[in-house]
Amino acid sequence: MESQTSETVTIGSLEIMLAQPAALPLKWVGQKELIKQVLAAWMVIDEKDVPFNPRLVGKPGVGKTTLGYAAAKQLNRQVYLFQATMDTRPEDLIITPVMGGDGQVKYAASSLVTAMIRGGVCILDEGNRMSEKSWASLAPLLDDRRYAESLITGLTLSAHPDFRFVVTINEDASTYEIPEYIHSRLQPQILIDFPDREDELLILKENLPFADEDMLNYMVDFLQRAHSADEVYSVRDGINMARYALKMMHGTRMSRREAIHHAILNVLGDEAIRYEE
């Protein structure tokens, strides 16, 4: 039996502190088909059906977290973000004991468990930075059992029917291999590639409404040249370079060309200079 307030929930005899939902200034621009794919994966079409747990795969900076957040907002659900790291422990994913101000041990639910309880959406960010031991603690949550066990409290926590889960996976080398029995639970795979020129320009305009057309077009052309060479430079890099160049133009007497050159050099390094115009 559960009774809930705005910040805590009582499960059995234990009061559990809940995490706060994420409120992020993120807006998905372009590639509407990808949002449809995520929403289709989360759909339930029969009382015996369960939602999928899609994995969003792509290079860093292509907008995987933004895509998950935008899809959740289309469902009008609260969004909870959990940043996975190499140090993430199983208890970090479920419930952890904390010392209260009164010297008493209290229990705090992770953002993932809070999403389970409240029927929100959990985005597990950069999931392939997490060890197999931590993934193993989520195995029953990610199949049709849809529950998680807290070894610290002895509680078995069932997911709300509205709970949805998505994981982002970076295509880079500094990560763990996700075990196959977990991989099979993270379906379907939704691939996110670099956007085309039109969408990339829209993203830059959305994030840099104060930038002039010449700056935006230069950065898009730079990124498109880099994409053609299979570089990992992303639209996030383009945003950072344009913002830094604009700041230098306003704060110094640098010309536009000098400011852009220094922005490319300072944000991406020497190797990126070859993609200057």
Q: In angstroms, rounded to a whole number, what is the distance separating the alpha carbons of residues 157 and 159?
A: 7
The packing angle between helices 197-207 and 235-251, to 10°, is 50
Identify whether residues 100 and 213 lie together within a single domain: no
Identify whether residues 160 and 117 lie together within a single domain: yes
Identify whether residues 161 and 255 lie together within a single domain: no
To the nearest whole number, what is the mean pLDDT of the chain?
Answer: 92
Identify whether residues 201 and 186 lie together within a single domain: no
Identify whether residues 255 and 156 lie together within a single domain: no
Identify whether residues 162 and 31 lie together within a single domain: yes
Identify whether residues 87 and 152 lie together within a single domain: yes
Identify whether residues 182 and 270 lie together within a single domain: no
Percentage of the chain beyond pLDDT 70 is 97
Identify whether residues 186 and 214 lie together within a single domain: no
Identify whether residues 118 and 228 lie together within a single domain: no
Q: The tokens of 2 are what?
A: 């559960």
What confidence tier does 150 reach under pLDDT thresholds 50, 70, 90? Answer: very high
Contacts of 88 (CB under 8 A, 6+ apart): 129, 130, 131, 134
State the pLDDT at residue 173.
64
Question: Residue 232 pLDDT > 80, yes or no?
Answer: yes
State the pLDDT at residue 1.
41
Among candidate residues 190, 223, 239, the one where a domain is terminated: 190
Among candidate residues 126, 159, 190, the one where a domain is terminated: 190
Range of the domain at 120: 2-190
What confidence tier does 57 reach under pLDDT thresholds 50, 70, 90? Answer: very high
Among candidate residues 164, 190, 216, the one where a domain is terminated: 190
Q: In angstroms, rounded to a whole number, what is the distance separating the alpha carbons of residues 167 and 81?
A: 10
More confidently predicted of 3 and 166: 166
Tally the domains of the chain.
2
Say if residues 249 and 260 touch (Cβ distance below 8 Å).
Answer: no
Say if residues 139 and 26 touch (Cβ distance below 8 Å).
Answer: no
Identify whether residues 48 and 77 lie together within a single domain: yes
Residue-wise pLDDT tens digits, 72-103: 999 999 999 999 999 999 999 999 988 776 77
Question: Residue 134 pLDDT > 90, yes or no?
Answer: yes
Q: In angstroms, rounded to a whole number, what is the distance separating the alpha carbons of residues 33 and 122?
A: 21
Phi/psi at 8 (5° precision): -135, 165
What confidence tier does 44 reach under pLDDT thresholds 50, 70, 90? Answer: very high
What confidence tier does 9 reach under pLDDT thresholds 50, 70, 90? Answer: confident
What is the residue-wise DSSP string for 36-47? HHHHHHH---ST
Identify whether residues 201 and 152 lie together within a single domain: no
**CATH number of the domain within which 37 lies:** 3.40.50.300
Average pLDDT over residues 113-118: 96
Q: What is the pTM of this model?
A: 0.88
Strands 147-150, 55-58: pairing is: unpaired
